[in-house]
Every structure is written in C-alpha cells, then in structure tokens.
Chains A and B, each alone.
Chain A
Amino acid sequence: MSAELAALARRSFLGQVSTGMAGLALADLLRDAPASAAEPLSGGALAEPHLVPRARQVLQIFCPGAASHIDLWDHKPELDRRDGERLPGEEEFLSFQGPNGPLMRSPWPFAPAGESGKPISTLLPHMARHVDDIAFIHSMTSRTNTHGPGCVFMNSCFTREGFPTAGAWVSYAYGTLNSNLPTYVAIQDVRGEPPNGKANWSSGFLPARHQGIPLSAQQPLRNLRPPESVTEREERTTRDLLRALNERHAAAHPAESELQARIAAYELAARMQLAAPAAADLASESESTHAAYGTADENPLKAAYARNCLLARRLLEQGVRYVSLYCASRASAVDGLLNWDAHKTLKGDYERHGPVFDQPTAALLDDLKQRGLLNDVLVLWTTEFGRMPTRQSTTQGRDHNPDAFTCWMMGAGVRGGVSYGATDDFGRRSVTDVATAYDFHATVLELLGIDHERLTYYHNGTNRRLTDVHGHPIRAIMA
C-alpha cells in the first residue's frame, strides 16, 4: 500500500495524467503508475539488490532428455579402461528401465582444450574453444529420475508443477529492462516443447506477468498482430476510440492507478507490436553472422536451432531479462530421436544431437563475448539429470542417472576454466562437493545480486523461495 501512497503523493492527487497520454507523458506514467495495488508495472519487487550484482541478464540453455555428462563434459578415463566390465559394487543394479549391462566407454574420445587443457568430448569440437570461460559443475544430483518432473525441478526446484521457475523469480525480483519486450522469454525447439511443457516457464503462483513468453524464430509472439481482416486504419481508429474512452473513464475516477495502468498497458502493447518483430527480425543480421551460427545449414534441425540462438542474442541485446533456450524437445515414440534421451543407441542419437547443438551454441557464445554482452549476461547450461556409465542390458544406450550430471555457467560473474565438484571414477555418482538444483539457483540468484533466502513470495501459508528451504551458493565458481 505504501507504494500506492507514494505514487499518490507524486501525482498530488490529480487526474492530470489522464489527458495527453501520448509521447513523453508515457514515460512518466511508466515510472509512476502501479499496475495493481501491490506491484508496479515494470519494476520489480526488490527496491534494490541484496548484494552487488555481477550479472543482470540470464541466458539458460537447456538440453532436455538428460544429456549425458560422461559423453559430453565429464571425462572418465577409468570408464575407457574398464569398458565391458561390470560396474563394481552395482553389478545387479536396476535403474529406470530395468537391468544394466556392463560399463560402456564413450563412443567419442575426449581431447584437452583451451589453456586449461580441460578434456571435452570430440563430439563437440566447437564448444571446446570456450572451455576457458566455462565453470563446470560436475557434481549435480536430482530428486527424480523422470524427465518431466526432472526438467521442472531443474527450472523451479520443485518436481511438482505449480511453482514459479527461475526466470519468473528473476522477473518478479527485478522487473524488465525493456518494457517493449517480454521480461522472460522461453525459446522452444522447433521439435516442440520440452518434457512437461509450459510448466518449465511457468510463473506458478507469482502474478501472470512473470511467466515466460513462448517465442521462437519459428513461432512469433501470440496475438501480436491484428487479424488480416482488420486494416491498419481500422486498427488505428479503434485504438483512438479506445484510448479516448479509457482516458475519460480514468478522468472520472481520479487516482485509480489500475485504470491508468491499463492505458499504459495498451501503449506498451502497441510498442511491443513494433519492437517484438524487430527484435525477432533475423534478416538484419550480416551474412557472416548467419554463417557463423549455421542458420542455413542443410540439417534443418541445426538451422532452426541456430536461428533460435541468434534470436536469443538479439533478445538479450535488447534487454530481455531472462531467456531460456531449448535444444531438443519432449520424448517421442522412439527414445532419443527428439531429445538427448539415448536409451537404445547412444552413438546414433548423439551424432544427431551433438552437431545440432555444437556450432550454433558456440557461435552464440562467441557473439555474446564479442559484443561485450557477457559483462551482463550470465550463461547457464542445464539438463535434468545424467546417464549411467553402463549400457542397458539389452541395448547400446544408457539409462537415467539422477545421481550424477553436469551443468555449467559462464559469463557475467563466473570464473572461467574451473571445474567444481566431481563424480566417481565412472561418473556413476557425484562424490565431491555434491550439488543440487537448489545450490545451482542459489548461485544464479547471488550472481544477480539476490540473496536466495530473502527473495520470497507469500503463498498458501509460506513465504516461498525459488530454492525451497535448501541451497548454498557455489562461490568457488564466482569470479
């Protein structure tokens, strides 16, 4: 309520805002008019950060399907050596899909990269050039071994749907940097939504404006354009009438901030109609940029993901606060076809997914770096859990492993070229500095200047947090 009173004091209880809404007056309005009694339209819940922020935007790259840590990031020489032997101590182990066969070395050798000499799978030759900027967390663990709840857990710290995701919390904390664009954008893969779909960018019980807005190079913002039956002239005349009606209505109800907020929302919508297509317009990018990302690659999946990478950079550049970028989708009738869930044929599956991911992501990271965006943007790479070092008893693939996986961060506030935590000799379990999604997001929030224990929202009897009642920031990877 005090916010509203303050706004009231600033406007000295006059209806003057209600006339002459266009142009610069709007800027004042944006600053002053609260969207509802509780919250301003564009600002956040935190009057100021709890800590010194090292990052102010987030790019989260998510590879759904449980991307295998031991085939991408976490080199296990012992696994190579003991290929074909039973996993010591767990010879008869049953995992998600049943019995496990012997240990299976990664089909791709690892090669040292960068000055740090960090071994990276040769499946990802382009990503290898970024290792000196990356802080790997090799000791991640999950609460579940099922994809849908696992993805939602990695995004919201709850396996059940209905809780706000990290992007929504950040939107809630800080609001927007550019009110002409959504604050939180979820870029889905061309193959479809990730497991459990929209719950991965839900605002849960936070106000709806904090939810991630689905948008991709293939799918423009919903309802952005009037239908073709409405001419430009009709649109303008209708909106003029609407503004006149709403302004008169607001004038007749002085100081009702809600009414002014609605007028502002329509102005914002109009600007978003211009800004969003401009932001999504990849045609203005140079040919060399397109080539670097691979937007015209003959592999349509790679080209589509590359376009989404480029879109992500443009959105970040224009001030979208939190961008989630998905590389792959839900499972399909065939395990491992549409995402990283390689139960049956690891080699074939990852030779399909690796190239889709590798070049465009590496190009995106180069681009962010060259443009200086990594001073502001914290980059996250996540998946929902890891995979077993064994093959399944009857296949050449790996089963789910919630006990060990890798995530990483780079960019604003992150110390590059480090590896935090470790799995055992085979990558079967995280054993050193074991980390969770709670720790991961406590770290993200801290890098954004937020104490994860103090960013709360009252809901159903509890002051809810992103990190539930857990989490410790991993300071060892902070710059």
Chain B
Amino acid sequence: MHASRRPRLTIALLAALWLSGGRAAATEGEAGSESAGFEPIARLLAARCLGCHAGADAKAGLDLTHRDGALRGGEGGPALAPGDAEASPLWERVRDGDMPPDKPLDEADQRLLRAWIDGGAAWGAEAIDPFRFTTETRAGYDWWSLQPLAPASPPAVQNESWVRNDIDRFVLERLEAAGLAPSEAASPRALLRRVTIDLTGLPPTAEEMAAFEADPGDAAYEAIVDRLLSSPQYGERWGRHWLDIARYGESNGFERNGPRDHFWQYRDWVIEALNADLPYPEFVRQQIAGDLLTGGTEGAAAVGFLVAGVHNTVVGSSERMRRLARQDELEEVAGTLGQAFLGMTVHCARCHDHKFDPIRTEEYYRFIAALDGIQHGDRDELPVRDAAELAGVAEALAVVEASTRELMGTAGRRLAIDAAAGPAAPEPRLRWSFDRWFADDSGRIAGEVHGGARIEYGALVLDGARAWAASAPLNFSVGEKTLEAWVQLDSLEQRGGGVISLQFTDGSVFDAIVFGEREPRRWMAGSDGFARTQPLGGAEETEAMDRPVHVAIVYRQDGTIAAYRDGAPYGQPYQTGFATFGAGQAQLVFGMRHSPPGGDRMLMGRIHHAQFYDRALDDAAVRASFERGFSLDRAKLLAALNDVERAAFASLEERRGELQSRRDRLLARRERLYSVTPADPEAMRVHVRGGVTDFGPEVSAGGLSAVTGAAADFGLPAGAGDRERRLALARWITEDARPLLNRVIVNRLWQHHFGAGLVETPSDLGFNGGSPSHPELLDFLARELEGHGGRLKALHRQLTLSSTYRQSSRLRRDAFEVDAGNRLLWRASPRRLDAETLRDAMLQSSGALNLEAGGPGFRDVELLSLNGTTYYLPIEADRPEFHRRSIYRFVPRDGASALLETFDCPDPSVTAPQRTATTTPLQALSLLNNSFVLAMSGRVARRAEAGTESREAAVGRVWELIVGRLPEDVERTESAALVERHGLAALARGLFNASEFLVIE
C-alpha cells in the first residue's frame, strides 16, 4: 500500500494496511524495537501533529517526534502523563478540539490516541521522522514514486482478441472495469501519419501513405516502425523533446546574453546518442560526468546538459551579489537535473525543507555540493582517440623540456648567474617565452595567434592593426593578479594598444597593460569602460623603441592597482574597484587591449616575454623579477657547454622539434565547445533560508535519502574534488535511483506517444504532481526498459505496436461522458502539430527540406552587439541552410523565431517538459501571412506544377503534398475554383491552414 495524493482511507485503516508491507517499514528498521501497537500512533502524530511540533523550532517548544520531547513538553509544561489520558494536556487539547487547529481528530483517531495514552504511551525507540508518512498535505517516504518497482504481471482481460502486447492488457483491464470498449483501429492513413510524426517529427509522403493503404497489415506496420526507428530523423525528433527538458539555449541570457557559438555539439551529441540507442542510464551518466568518464569532445559535449541553462556574466562588484548569483545558478542546475532525471523538485528545498516532498534543506545542499564544481566556459578538446595520443606527446615533451632546462641550468651556473646569487625571482603561474610555439611555457594552456601575428627571434611580433594572440580560457579563477611583460614598441605615438590583457572571452571585462590611450606616451592600467582606470602619473616613455622595457601591473583585492616600469614603481598606486574572473570565463590576450580586434586596441611592437601571476606581487618581488630578466642570451649559454653537452642539446632540440610538430598537428584538430570547465569547489555549507550571509553546518556531496535511503550518502569528505563528487552523483542517479529514473523516462515516452503521460506531470512525480493513471503499467514499462538493457528504441517499438496506440482518435460519446480527458485511453488523443513539426512539415511539403544533420545551427537572426549586450534581430531569407530541420536552428534566448514562438515553442530559459498547445487568432494571422508560409506555398505550387501535366493533376498534387491525400469531389471543385483565379500557391496557403494539416489524429 503506497501513499497517493488523496488519502481516502481513515488513518486507522491505513495503519492496519500498513502492517501488510511497505518499503519504509522494511528500511526504517523500527519494527524490531517498536511495539507494533505504536505504528498507528506514529502515523497519527506524523500526519496531524508533527507538521508544527517537530524539531528544534517546534511550535510552542513542543517536540512530539520522540518520547522525551513529549514528556518534557513545551511552553505549557509536560504534554503527556503515560497511563492517564485525562491528566495529559496533549489529550485535553485534542479532546476539546483545540488541536490540531482547523480540523480536529475524528472519533476513531481520538479513541486510538486516548487508548494509547491510557495504555502507558509506549513509544518506539527512535524518533518519528516527520517525513516517514504521507499526510494530507505532503508526501512521506512511503510516497508511491519512491517505492521499488512493483512486480506487476499483466492482468487478464475479457476481450483477448484486442490484445497485441502486454501494454494492451493493462489498458484494457481498466477500460473493461469502467464498462468501456477500446476504439476501433485508426485508418491506415491516420495511423501512418501519427507514427511517422511521433517517431521522426515529419509527416509521411503521399507515396508512403499510398503504399501503406495498399498493404496495411501488421507485418507492413512493424516494418515501418523499424524503418522509422532506424532513420536519422528519429534522433532529431526525440532529441527535440530532450532539448526542451535540458533548456537548451545558445546564448547566456541575463543582461548581456552573449551567444554560445560552440554549444551545438551538445545538441548533436543528444541526437547521435538517441540514434545510436545509447542505453538510457548511460545517456544520463554521460550528461552528468561525460567529461570525467569519456573525456575528449564527446565527453565535453555530453555534459553540456549541466551548463545549458542561463548564465549570469554580469554580477557587479559586490561579493554578496556574486555569491547570490552562484547559489541561484546551482539552484537552476539542481532543479533541472532533479526534474529531468528523477521527477523530483529538489530545488524547492533551498530555503526550507521541501513543503510537499520528503527532502530536507540539508539534503538540497548535499545535492548542490555534488554539482558545485561546475563552471561555465569554453573548452578546446580533441576527439577521445586524438586526446590520448596528445597526452603521450605532451608527456614526452615535458621530459625533453626538463632535460633542456637542466642543461641550461648547468650553463647558467657556469656563467655565475646562479639563482641563489640574486634575489629569488617569483614564480609566475604562466609564462610565455615566445621562442618556438605559442602555448605557455608549461604547455598546459594552449593558445593561438591571429591576424598574422608571428613569433620571431623569441618575440611575438604585432603589427598594430590585425595581429594578436590569445591563450585558451584559463581553467582557474583569478582574483588578485600581476601582469608583467618585456615589450618593445615600434612607435611611441601609438594610442591604446594593449600589451597583455586578462579579459572575459567576449571582451566585456578586462584588465590590461595599455600604452598611450588616455595620455600620450604613458603606461596605464586599462579596463572596461575605464571602470578601474585612473591616471598613474608615471613618466612619459622614451626608451621603449630602443630596447625592451619591463612593465608590470599589480591588482589587489582591496582595489589597489600599482604599476612598475623596469622593476621600479611607475607613478602612484591608486584604489578603485576590483574585477574577478571565474574559471573558464577569462583568457589572456597579447597585443590587444580587449576583444574584438581592431581600432586603437591593437599594439604595434614586439613582446619578448610575458608572465602572469594569480597573486599580487609586492615591490621587492617585481624588482626581483625584473632583475632576473626574462631569458639569457642563448648563444652565451651554449658557449658555456662542453661538446658532449652541446651534442645532447642538439639532439634534444631535434626531438623537441619532432614532438612539437606532432603536437601541432593534433592541436590543429581541436574543437572548441561550450561546456563544463570544472573547478574543485570548497566545502559546501547549508545556506540558512537560502541566503548568503548566514550559514549552517558543512555538508558533503550526496543524493536524496527519500529516493534511495542510505545510498544517498556518497561517503565522501566535504572537501572532495569535483571529480569524486560528480562521479558519485552520476552513479547514484543511474544505479541507486534506477527505479525512479526508469519510471520518469518511460513516462516521458508515453507522454509523447499518447499526448499525456501516465503521470500527467512528467517532471514531477512528487506530491504536487499527478497520480499515475495506470500505476501498474508504469512500473511494468519501467521493468521492461530494464529488460531491454535501457534501450529506448525497444520500448518505442512496444508502445507503437500496441493496439492501444493504434486506436482511432474519433470522439465517442459514451466514452467521452465517462472519461472526457481520455485518461483511460479509450481512443488516441488528437494533437496539434508542435511548432517545429509544423515548420518542418511545410518544408517537406514544399520539397525544400534540407536534411543536413549536425554542425552549427542556421541563424535566422542577425547578431548585433552594443555596449556588451548582444541582440538577436530576426532576418528573413529563403536560403537552403534556412531549410534545415528546426532542431538545427540557432536558438539564442530572447531571440525566438516569430513563427515557432506563436505555436508555443518555449523560450529555452527554463526546463519545459510539456508544451502547451494553444489555438489563437495570432496563430491564424501567422499561418496566413508569415513570409515563410508564403514562400513555402509558392514552392509547393511550383513543385506540383513541375511534376504534373494538367491543372487538375496539379491541384491533386498540392493536396497530396500537404495533407497526403487527393481531394474529394467537392474539395476538388472548390480547390479548382480558387486555383483558376489565384493559382496553386493560394491553394497551398489555404491547406497549410487547414485543420487536417495541423492536427495529428
């Protein structure tokens, strides 16, 4: 007996039933220590009292979860006198109807309570967990969706002949119990259109219609289902459903809404995974931890799920606002993840224990602790196979570099330039010598040159117009920092060129060493909109054309900015704001103040050496770095070596050359992806009431105990790294929580084949969600999926081959009066084409459909960047790339396609497990007058005309192309009359607006 939303049984009766079984009884382990007689009392207290009288902040200080609390009592003294109900205030208040407020206990419960107190008020040994039982106002651990899958066997039915597979038994049993018969089979035309759209998102062609009408047998139908499931369009159709859930959007949202130019890989990964029929648990696992499990482009693409949501790139200068933004972001990820995979609204427990489901606030913070390593950012990745090779090359290079350094060290010592002789130079986090290739010297941070920038004699040469270089996004966050470079200028008259700049990859925020921008010939600390720029008061530059000068700028947390030239302070430090750069958000650029390239931002000159410190250096350290110099004359060093050493050096150099060219070849294949750029998080603490100023205890990553009991504890320390946390979460969701995981996905499949899920709220199987119409069927399907090895296609096959699926959609009065909502599935529910299917179907009718799969999406918007904010302005064009399927549209937030939006395509800002289907006058206007519809109508007309010999045949062809059949006589007459006067395109335009086209029967 599991709890359902509307308890119809009295508490006492439920208690009796309780003894017959239930997971909580088995797992909570209280049976041994508690007298069975306490069970009904525990349930009664949980249902009616513990809502207020539980825990540390219990009302009136009275905690009724355990015996001591009841005996100690609250503000009114002890609540309980065991053995004497009349002397117990608890009983008095209940008897007098004061408690529970609003709705007193009924007589049976009153008797139960009184008898228990009179009988000595025996308690169980453990406190009653207020979440243990489902009550009228909330779900407990005994909630139906949290139970193991029931071992349901398909029931017996009367009308055996209707049954095609076990699904039909579950459905028919309920219909028969309601005195209803199922509907007749759908016509072959209706069935073919339905199944083709359901599995591929495209309607069948007229030829396919005709073929199936000629041979509508079971074998032919099965063959069609198999053909559709193995077509590439299957993944596009079901990928679209998944992307709705994943809130897949290709811009950041919020204030700046910058585009994500490299996020389509996630969309392609989803489509390909579905087409390959990746087992569902694996599909899920990869989306949580693919970068850790599989790695490479494949893994980085899969975890796009985690960063598909909105991302706030402007959080201002206040620490409190930054923390709040981070907590909001984690809530968004946790909420989407919990709903998508488990149908649990975890995020509702951020500020307080979940009001409706058994999830504590502390568990919410355990859950987000598992996700706290996630940071948004770009990654440059190779396909897994190439990545393995690259790792080998990098390792070999490191060995070569180490040996070379050792030799040079030897030479250096001989030249008496021992490190110990001078002040120890500070070690930078990153260093660029620009001697051979453009990664940083450790080779860990890749980079690339642009606009003809080149490396020449150990310096980066910049033309002041187009040339610049950039590192890959930094995989660590930067607070305090020091920028340092040895730079030689080609002109002292240039104004505004950047030497080295740490910037957000979109250029919106930056700190840079800049020459001559505000004051000619002077160095300054450049920043976005001069937000952190003030005059330094340093001297005019006079020497930088003749020799490399050393320039450094130090940025401290308190807003102090100090500049140095040739190791000495340059002007006066000043205090201003402070910018931080999150992991994966920022990169270093050279020769340019900030992105985009061009204008006065470009430097003319050469950078000999550059160093970056993720800390603030003090005066002495800057001086030491300057004195140490960036490199020694190589010729001098070589001269200090003996012959053997020189030979060794030469061979090392040769080896290094080979490795570097291999490495460069591999690196050239790298692909940029918007993905997770993980960073090890700090220990998570409970944030009291969801705020960012008041903290509770430290928590370690974990799942939800309501779902898996003890397995929700991952056994990790609070300080565990991102890897351990996310891997544990992925394992917990896909293995421990498998029953719920399966229930949720089979329900989604059902939803998209039958118009509504067995549970009508597909992302919420909790208390606020719907109850399953066919709970046994849901569990049966969840088990079937397990039996299919998690492969969804086998389940699709089962669903679409059932008699239930093949019913007609015709509305029957007898059934409608009993079950207007078709919850019992007495017919197929008619549905309107969704926005993308509508558009794709028009493309198919017109013959313009371009089935090119994958890659960057087509952009029917123009990107306009103004003051750091990106705008997406619609453009109209009738070009082949615009004729790709709608799933390949570039989907920025706040940049919806007018046509799709009007037909209820949601903005991808929040997860959308279900679409509404409205019918509005604006849809009518859109379908009649939108330029796309008109263009497609024209194409249908031309296509029909070209393939037929007579006007009459062309009319028929237009009908076939749009609704898949020839017109009836009266339709033909009416159509001919229209075409006579206004042409075939007018007919096509009319038919695109016809209910027959818009509705899936």
**A contact set with B: CB distance below 8 Å:** 1, 4-5, 8, 13, 35-37, 41, 94-99, 144-149, 159-163, 179, 182, 195-199, 202, 204-209, 213, 221-227, 229-231, 233-234, 237-239, 241-242, 244-246, 248-250, 253-256, 258-259, 261-262, 265-266, 268-269, 272-273, 330-333, 394, 458, 460-463
Contact = CB atoms under 8 A, between A and B. Distances in A.
Contacts of A266: 921, 924, 993
Contacts of A209: 918, 920, 922
Contacts of A182: 922
Contacts of B65: none
A231 B989 CA distance: 14
Contacts of B907: 161-162, 199, 202
Interface string B938-954: 00000000000000000
B928 A226 contact: yes
A299 B114 CA distance: 82
Nearest to B998: A262
Contact of B766 (A35, A196, A461, A463): A461
A98 B922 contact: no
Interface stretch (B273-281, B427-435, B898-906): B898-906
A148 B257 CA distance: 10
A355 B679 CA distance: 51
Contacts of B931: 227
Nearest to A235: B928
Contacts of A96: 316-317
A37 B867 CA distance: 46
Interface in B744-803: 761, 763-764, 766, 768-769
Contact of A332 (B866, B911, B930, B974): B866
Given A37-B821, A41-B919, A245-B990, A161 B310 contact: yes
A237 B976 CA distance: 12
A234 B911 CA distance: 43
Nearest to A151: B255
B675 interface: no
Contacts of B898: 222-223
Nearest to B899: A223
Q: Across chains A and B, which 3 residue pairs bring their CB atoms closest together, nearest first?
A: A461-B345, A162-B909, A162-B910
Nearest to A99: B576
Contacts of B920: 35, 41, 208-209, 265
A145 B866 CA distance: 20
Contacts of B642: none
B986 interface: yes
A98 B532 contact: yes
Nearest to B321: A145
Given A205-B912, A238-B982, A94 B318 contact: yes
A238 B978 contact: yes
Given A99-B576, A241-B978, A5 B820 contact: yes
Given A208-B920, A262-B995, 14 more contacts: A4-B820, A37-B821, A148-B255, A149-B255, A161-B310, A199-B909, A221-B925, A241-B978, A242-B990, A245-B991, A266-B924, A268-B924, A272-B921, A330-B866
18 contacts: A97-B531, A146-B314, A148-B254, A161-B909, A202-B907, A205-B912, A208-B916, A213-B922, A223-B922, A238-B978, A238-B987, A244-B974, A245-B991, A253-B811, A259-B999, A330-B869, A460-B335, A461-B348
Contacts of A231: 982
Contacts, number: 246
Contacts of A261: 919
Interface in B331-354: 332, 335, 339, 345, 348
B255 A8 contact: no
A98 B970 CA distance: 74
Nearest to B317: A94
B913 interface: yes
Most B CB atoms within 10 A — which of A4, A161, A208, A229? A208
Interface of B: 253-255, 257, 310, 312, 314-318, 321, 328, 332, 335, 339, 345, 348, 529, 531-532, 534, 559, 575-577, 761, 763-764, 766, 768-769, 810-811, 813, 816-817, 820-821, 830, 832, 866-867, 869, 871, 893-894, 896, 898, 901-904, 906-907, 909-913, 916-926, 928-931, 934, 970-971, 974-975, 977-978, 981-982, 986-987, 989-991, 993-996, 998-999
B994 A197 contact: no
A268 B810 CA distance: 27
B993 A333 contact: no
A237 B981 contact: yes
Contacts of A146: 254-255, 314-316
Given A8-B820, A160-B328, A149 B254 contact: yes
B869 A245 contact: no
Contact of A207 (B821, B909, B916): B916
Given A146-B314, A234-B986, A237-B981, A462 B345 contact: yes
Contact of A36 (B576, B919, B996): B919
Nearest to B810: A253
B507 to A, nearest CB: 14
A43 B575 CA distance: 60
Contacts of B995: 245-246, 249-250, 259, 262
Given A162-B907, A162-B910, A461-B768, A245 B928 contact: no
Given A148-B254, A197-B894, A205-B910, A458 B978 contact: no
B919 A245 contact: no
Contacts of B255: 146-149, 195-196
Contacts of B312: 149
Contacts of B254: 146, 148-149, 160-161, 196
A241 B979 CA distance: 11
A231 to B, nearest CB: 8
Nearest to B920: A209
A460 B994 contact: no
A244 B255 CA distance: 48
Contacts of A198: 894, 896
A461 B339 contact: yes
A4 B822 CA distance: 12
Contacts of B532: 98
A202 B910 CA distance: 13
A162 B253 CA distance: 10
Contacts of A148: 254-255, 257, 869
Nearest to A242: B990
Contacts of B911: 460
Contacts of B978: 237-238, 241
A224 B919 contact: no
B691 to A, nearest CB: 12
B331 to A, nearest CB: 10
A245 B972 CA distance: 11
A202 B763 CA distance: 22
Nearest to B343: A461
A455 B477 CA distance: 44
Contacts of B820: 1, 4-5, 8, 37
A265 B919 contact: yes
A208 B904 contact: yes
Contacts of A207: 904, 916, 918
Given A199-B894, A238-B990, A223 B925 contact: yes
Contacts of A197: 871, 894
